[in-house]
Amino acid sequence: MTAPDTIRIFDTTLRDGEQSPGCSMTPQQKVVMARALDALGVDIIETGFPASSESDREAQRLIAREVRRPTLAVLSRCLPADIEASARVLEGTANPRLHIFISTSPLHREHKLRMSRQQVLDMAATSVAHARRLVGDVEFSTEDGTRTEDDFLEEVIAAAIANGATTINVPDTLGYATPEESRALFQRLIATVPGARDVIFSAHCHNDLGLAVANSLAAIEGGARQVECTINGIGERAGNAALEELVMALKVRNAFYDIDTGIDTRRLVPTSQLLRRLTGMSVQRNKAIVGENAFAHESGIHQHGMLRHRGTYEIMNPSDVGWPDSKLVLGRHSGRTAVGHRLRALGYTLEDAQLEQVFIAFKDLCERQRVVEDSDLEALMHGDVSGQGWRLASMTVSDRGQRASAQIELSDPEGAKVSESALGDGPVDALFAALAAATGVELALESYQVHSVGMGRDARGEASVSVRHGDDIHEGTGTSRDIIEASALAWLDVANRILRASRTVPALQAAHA
């Protein structure tokens, strides 16, 4: 059992998280994720809702064979058949938990359950007793608990404790509560409900108003010692409290909270990235802790501060959460200090006048591309600032018939025309195949995004690609009134970066010979 002065992390990525549209996983994928959650150090893994599907039942059985340290929980409604089915699927589990729930708010009682207060109370009491006879560890949840009348919430929880519940979860199912309300709710329940001191109180907060982590932290202040959360904050609607944010808030602000978790924080980023691969759901770049920009700095003022002392613009070490290091991203907001620092790291020693000349060329390049990489800096140092490379001359894309087709014409770096065509599973797939054939550059697509820039007549489409070339990941962008053309320009943005790098390396080798 987790020590009293630590927070139990109840991970519901495989249950509530998987209910996020587009995030369903196969039983085998759930096993892979469960292994990662075990290595991460979570205390309880909720594997699914057995009564809802055979897939969830199979996932629990497979996970139980391989994952033995943490408690494995399954969710069940307060119905005898559901409880018995859930108990059966837990057989053979090293540390089983049966998690049962019933709605308690007036809105849910009237419109969802069509039951009176007394009927809900009776069902909660008999269901907890039934579950406890089958499984020794029973968690009871009051769905929509934060919108339930105070007296009735206390009455239902008291009945659940009296009938054997070992954990009481009070969910903010609709993400409606505020931190002050959450803190006061748990303080009051723990102080007034008979038997409350003998069980663990748990918070399960949704993010509809962006307050899931704040409400979870407030619940901890109120006495909750278990928090239910998900990797990357995935879940119904706007999602759940993000595990990585909650854990790092407790770690970074430990002097304030004076409480910790058993999580190996160095595994947060790898676990986040694994979930992204399994579900295909990307994480916004500025997502706290695990987003690509969480430890990236482009502003010249910030970069200057970081070069003087990391603590000026970072409150935690990136390696503590699984990132290799901070990133000083060179772009239009970067200053001379950051550019000079990066050039010195690449082995160049420049006088002030030389740096100024390179910096002017750097700023000019920033007007044509968002991010300047090392290969771009190398090209600037060797005078290749013309921006010459592969250029799109014309393109025709058709999505008729069973497969899409693309015909393109490019100008190569020497100005000669190159034409190619290709088929694909869709217009963009066909386009990228034709570009690869024309340039001879093979890129493995990691992610592809399109969105609109501007409104009305001035609106343009912007495409962003993240691709793998060899062992390296490259990103490119393209903008056009036609989104397919923007996609081609994004692909060529990457191809031209690789071209510049290939030209620079021989020049450097010759210079150092």
Among the listed ranges 56-65, 102-111, 488-497, which one has the minimum average pLDDT value?
Answer: 488-497
Compute the average pLDDT of residues 125-134: 98
Residue 250 to residues 6, 257, 279, 289, Cα–Cα distance (Å): 10, 6, 28, 13
pLDDT tops 70 at residue 385:
no
Interatomic CA distance for residues 342 and 323, integer angstroms: 19
Compute the average pLDDT of residues 227-250: 97
Interatomic CA distance for residues 447 and 225, integer angstroms: 38
CA dihedral (117, 121, 122, 128) in degrees, to 10, reads 160
Among the listed ranges 189-198, 237-246, 337-346, which one has the minimum average pLDDT value?
Answer: 337-346
* CB 139, CB 167: distance < 8 Å: yes
Output the pLDDT for position 67. Answer: 97
Q: What is the mean pLDDT of the chain?
A: 90
Query: Residue 2's pLDDT band (boundaries 50, 70, 90)?
Result: very low
Output the pLDDT for position 512. Answer: 42
Burial of 66 (0-12, 13-18, 19+ CB in 10 A): exposed
Output the pLDDT for position 162. Answer: 98
Q: For 391-511, CATH number?
A: 3.30.160.270
pLDDT tops 60 at residue 505:
no
Residue ranges of the alpha helices (H) in 79-206?
80-89, 106-107, 117-134, 150-162, 179-192
Question: Token digits for 422?
Answer: 């290709």
Nearest to 243 by CA among 6, 3, 2, 10: 10
Interatomic CA distance for residues 376 and 386, integer angstroms: 11
Output the pLDDT for position 508. Answer: 39
**Is the model more confident about 357 or about 198?**
198
pLDDT tops 60 at residue 113:
yes
pLDDT tops 90 at residue 131:
yes
**pLDDT one-digit tens code per residue, 307-350:** 888 889 899 999 999 998 887 778 888 888 888 888 887 778 88
Which amino acid type is present at position 117?
A: R
Output the pLDDT for position 388. Answer: 61
**Does 206 belong to an annotated binding site?**
yes
pLDDT tops 70 at residue 504:
no
**pLDDT one-digit tens code per residue, 350-360:** 888 888 888 88
Instruction: Indicate the angle between helix axes 212-221 and 243-252, nearest 10 degrees.
Output: 50
* CB 160, CB 168: distance < 8 Å: yes
**pLDDT one-digit tens code per residue, 443-496:** 999 889 887 776 666 677 888 898 988 888 888 888 888 889 999 999 998 888
Q: Using alpha carbons only, what angle is made at residue 104 by residues 100 and 109, rounded to the nearest 5 degrees?
A: 115
* CB 106, CB 85: distance < 8 Å: no
Compute the average pLDDT of residues 196-212: 98
Output the pLDDT for position 456. Answer: 66
Residue 415 to residues 389, 406, 493, Cα–Cα distance (Å): 9, 22, 17
Interatomic CA distance for residues 12 and 447, integer angstroms: 26
Output the pLDDT for position 455. Answer: 63
**Can you say whether the dihedral through the CA atoms of 237, 243, 245, 250 is positive or negative?**
positive
**pLDDT one-digit tens code per residue, 257-277:** 999 999 999 999 999 999 998
* CB 361, CB 380: distance < 8 Å: yes
Output the pLDDT for position 405. Answer: 93
Q: For 8-279, CATH number?
A: 3.20.20.70
Compute the average pLDDT of residues 52-64: 95
**Does 240 belong to an annotated binding site?**
yes
Q: Which of 250-254, 395-399, 421-425 has the highest mean pLDDT?
A: 250-254
* CB 100, CB 78: distance < 8 Å: yes
* CB 242, CB 229: distance < 8 Å: yes
What's the chain's length in residues?
Answer: 513
Query: What is the b/e burial string over 2-14, where b = at least 16 CB atoms within 10 angstroms of the residue's CB?
Result: beeeebbbbbbbb
Domain-wise residue ranges, the chain: 8-279, 296-381, 391-511
pLDDT tops 60 at residue 208:
yes
**Is the model more confident about 366 or about 77?**
77
Residues 6+ apart with CB under 8 A from 435: 408, 410, 420, 441, 488, 491, 492, 495
**Does 204 belong to an annotated binding site?**
yes
Residues 6+ apart with CB under 8 A from 110: none
Parallel, antiparallel or unpaired: strands 200-205 and 167-172: parallel
Burial of 113 (0-12, 13-18, 19+ CB in 10 A): middle
pLDDT tops 70 at residue 4:
no
Query: Residue 51's pLDDT band (boundaries 50, 70, 90)?
Result: very high
Output the pLDDT for position 509. Answer: 44
* CB 232, CB 281: distance < 8 Å: yes
* CB 148, CB 177: distance < 8 Å: no
CA dihedral (422, 423, 428, 432) in degrees, to 10, reads -30
Interatomic CA distance for residues 333 and 356, integer angstroms: 16
| Residue 420 C-alpha from the chain's centroid | 38
Among the listed ranges 130-144, 208-222, 279-293, which one has the minimum average pLDDT value?
Answer: 279-293
pLDDT tops 70 at residue 110:
yes
Among the listed ranges 273-282, 346-355, 385-394, which one has the minimum average pLDDT value?
Answer: 385-394
Output the pLDDT for position 199. Answer: 98
